Structure 1
Amino acid sequence: MAQPLWQGLRYSVWPSPGGHAFPRLRLQYKPNLISLAGGLQGLPVTQPEARATPLKPTQWKQMIAEAQEKKVVVLDVRNDYEWDAGHFVGAGRPDEEVFAETPVGSSEQDVPSPLRGMDPDTPVMREGFGRP
């Protein structure tokens, strides 16, 4: 029986030359899809109140404009190569070459360099790496 949600789905069927199509296929269990230098154990990733507030593009644009007047940090959590390819005005170049090197924690050395020495009440606008 066909699935109603699959109606209109285009697919192709190609014959296999015989034997297993992917003879060297390996599947591995990964406890986290995202790896960070300090691990994810201490992060409140399952607490909705600790997550970022999603913004509409117009809200983001308005906050970027206000960031020039107010003390707002634009934090780029992508890697240095992606920052070089393009970034928002005011976003500092990350020290990390890959996202997994992003420091996490509560001590001064365990936060990304643009946040070091900042007042904890300073608004932070995060760009990069998918949805908040």
Structure 2
Amino acid sequence: MEPWGRPDPHLREVVWFAVRCRALTLLLQVLTRFLGCSSPVPYWFSAHLLQEHEPLLRSEGTDDQTRSGDSPLCKPPASHGKGTPGNPVVRLLLSRRAMAPLSRCVLGFFLSYWLLGLVLHCNFLPWT
């Protein structure tokens, strides 16, 4: 390309490609934000999957106790140094070898999404 002569004929293709890549990135970021932040349905569905298929989240009592509101998610936190932690996610992560495969997939997705978002966002890369 000559500095003061005719422009490169491929410049239009390069600019068009850059505009389309930026539009696609913007669209993906906006869709991810709409689905992840403003809609609780993905979180409800993943919580439903974990609650139904993970035996570590089920209470030790009968079904009548669970229906009355005594679920393991509503238990008060355990005392420091005794028993399992009160947070069910921490309890699942500490006993990951005994988890169901579906629970590993759900928690693995959310942990990898969090870690990838943390790394990419801190490096000023396109991530929501």
State TM-score, norm by structure 2.
0.23
State the structure with bigger RCO (CA 8 A, min sep 6), 1 or 2: 1
- Say which one has the larger Rg: 2
More helix by share: 2
